[in-house]
Amino acid sequence: MVLQEGTSYTFSQILELNSETDEILAALGYRFRDAPLKLPTAEVPRRAQLGPLRAQMRERLPYVPLTNEAACRSFYAVPVLFAALDQFRFKMNISYPVAGGRLTGTVDFLLRGRQDLVVAGVRSEALARGFQKLAVQMVAVSENAAKPSVGPKHPRRAQKAERTRRAREAEGKKRFAQGVQTQVFGVVTTGPVWQFGLLDRAQKRVTKDSETYSLPGDMERLVEVFAGMLGEKRFEQDDVNREGERLRWANS
């Protein structure tokens, strides 16, 4: 057996097992497949602003040694994610900790908007193995979101907490049946190359997209996919016209 029953693993420990992705996912209760994904896309309100960023990336590339994962993340991933954030609203968690289940560790980026999107960075030579890192992190985020909170020990408070838990669980099942947040999207990137994945909670299945996106050439396509996953169903005209205004986030 790839994983020991009842044992908690960090993301790095999972990757050190040197097992195939389908074996690891099977041990976690998920199926795996490699197939084309029909990713959601949406119109980007200020698409023209992406052109200068793409040109700057091409001009700067010869002068920046991209010798490790951190350098690639700083040069490619962070600017593109912030460019997407400038286009539409979502919450961008950086180095997001996940703990409490069978899997623990830190997710490179967890983007939360219309859907959840996990972003995993890997070394340039490790894209094939990198999807394993992404798959495990998607499972961890999905399971962490679904796990119940620990109730208080006081008897009356415990009873009240149990009633609340059951009510929330019933509401959660209702929302799940209606198709709300039944999916977790993910993307693994070496910096210049990006590959998406999808975790289907209902079917307990992780799909690896057979297509990849390359920067800087596919920047507009990439941000359009981000918009489809994270953006609102429609953009308010006021939001479209607020060029140069800094987005303000309410505490949550």
- pTM for the full predicted model: 0.78
pLDDT at position 154:
53
Q: Which residue has the higher pLDDT, 153 or 84?
A: 84
Average pLDDT over residues 111-127: 88
pLDDT in tens, 71-82: 888 999 999 999
pLDDT at position 46:
86
| Pick from 247, 225, 240: nearest CA to 46 | 240
Average pLDDT over residues 193-221: 95
Can you tell me the distance from the alpha carbon of 9 to that of 13, in angstroms, rounded to the nearest whole number?
6
Whether 142 contacts 163, CB under 8 Å: no
pLDDT at position 77:
94
Classify the C-alpha dihedral 32-36-42-45 as positive or negative.
Answer: positive
Give the tokens for residue 204.
């307990």
Average pLDDT over residues 57-86: 92
Identity of the highest mean pLDDT range in 16-20, 130-134, 167-171, 243-247? 130-134
Average pLDDT over residues 103-127: 90
Q: Kindly state the percentage of the chain with pLDDT values over 70.
A: 75
